Structure 1
Amino acid sequence: MEYVQERIATLHDFGESGDPSASPAADAVAETTVVVPMAGREHGSPAAERVLSELETLEPAPAAVIVPVRADADRIGPFREWLESFALPTAVLWCNAPAVEELLTSVGLANGFGKGQDVWLALGPAAAAGESVVVHDADAWSYEAAHVTRLLAPLTMGYAFSKGYYARVEDGRLYGRLFRLFYAPLIRALEDTHDAPIVDYLAAFRYALAGEFAATADLARTLRAPRAWGLEVGTLGDAFDAAGFENSAQVDLGCHEHDHRAVAGETGLEGMSREVAGELLRVVEERGVDLEYAALRDRYLAAGDRLIDQYRADATVNGLAYDPAAERDQLTRYADSIAPPGPDRRLPRWCDAPFEPIDVLEAARPWADGRDHRARLDQFDAGAQD
Structure 2
Amino acid sequence: MEYVQERIATLHDFDGTAGEPAVPTTDVVAETTVVVPMAGREHGSPAAERVLSELETLDPAPAAVIVPVRADADRIGPFREWLESFALPTCVLWCNAPAVEDLLTSAGLANGFGKGRDVWLALGPAAAAGEYVVVHDADARSYEAAHVNRLLAPLSMGFAFSKGYYARIEDEQLYGRLFRLFYAPLIRALAADSDAPILDYLGAFRYALAGEFAATADLARQLRAPRAWGLEVGTLGDTFDYAGFEDSAQVDLGRHEHDHRAVDGETGLEGMSQTVAGELLRVVEERGVDLDYTTLQDRYRTVGNRLIDQYRADAAINGLTYEPAGERDQLARYADSIAPPGPDRRLPRWSDAPFEPADVLEAACLDSTQDSRPAVLDALGAGAQD
Name the SS for the 2:67 alignment partner: strand
C-alpha separation between the residues in 1 aligned to 2:27 and 2:69? 28
User: Residue 359 of structure 2 aligns with which residue?
Assistant: 359
Match of 1:20, SS state, is: coil
CA distance in 2, matches of 1:279, 1:108: 21
**CA separation of 1:128/1:108 partners in 2, compared to 1, >3 Å: closer, same or farther?**
same
Alignment partner of 1:141 is 2:141: yes
In structure 2, relative to structure 1, the CA distance for the partners of 1:372 and 1:165 (3 Å cut) is: closer
| Corresponding residue of 2:384 | none
Structure 1 pair 19/118, CA: closer, same or farther in 2 (3 Å)?
closer
Deviation at 1:365, TM superposition (A): 2.1
What corresponds to 1:300 in structure 2? 300
Long gaps (5+) in structure 2: 382-386
SS in 2 for 1:92: strand
Gaps of at least 5 residues in structure 1 are 382-386
User: How far did 1:368 drift?
Assistant: 3.6
Say if 1:53 and 1:310 are closer, same or farther in 2 by CA, change over 3 A: same
Contact residue 209 and residue 232 of structure 1 kept, 8 A:
yes
Task: Give distance in 2, aligned partners of 1:360 and 1:209.
Answer: 27
Corresponding position of 1:210:
210
Deviation at 1:20, TM superposition (A): 3.2
Equivalent residue for 1:230?
230
Q: Is the 8 A contact 1:358 1:373 kept in 2?
A: no
Q: Deviations over 1:107-152 (max 9, x none)?
A: 1000000000000000000001111000000000000000000000
Give the distance between the partners of 1:374 and 1:145, measured in 2 at CA: 19
1:126 aligns with 2:126: yes
Q: Distance in 2 between matches of 1:18 and 1:12?
A: 9
- The aligned counterpart of 2:309 is 309
3-state DSSP class of the match of 2:192?
A: helix
RMSD: 1.9
Per-residue deviation, 1:360: 0.2
**2: CA distance, partners of 1:225 / 1:308:** 31
Query: Any idea what the Cα deviations from partners look like across 1:274-330, whole Å, max 9, x if unmatched?
Result: 000000000000000010112111110000000000000000000000000000000
Q: Deviations over 1:190-240 (max 9, x none)?
A: 111011000000000000000000000000000000000000000000000
For residues 96 and 130 of structure 2, the distance between their equivalents in structure 1, rounded to whole angstroms, comes to: 25
Seen in structure 2, the aligned counterparts of structure 1 residues 55 and 374 have a Cα distance that, compared at 3 Å, is closer
Is it true that 1:158 corresponds to 2:181 in the alignment? no
Residues 75, 16 of structure 1: alpha-carbon distance in 2 compared, 3 angstrom cutoff: closer
**Identical columns (%):** 82
Distance 1:235 1:20 in 2: 26
TM-score (norm 1): 0.95
On the 8 A contact 2:179/2:209 being kept in 1, the answer is yes
Deviations 1:47-87 (A, max 9, x none): 00000000000000000000000000000000000000000
Separation in structure 1 between the aligned mates of residue 7 and residue 191 of structure 2, nearest angstrom? 14
| TM-score for both structures, normalised by structure 2 | 0.95
User: What amino acid is aligned across from residue 180 of structure 1 in structure 2?
Assistant: R
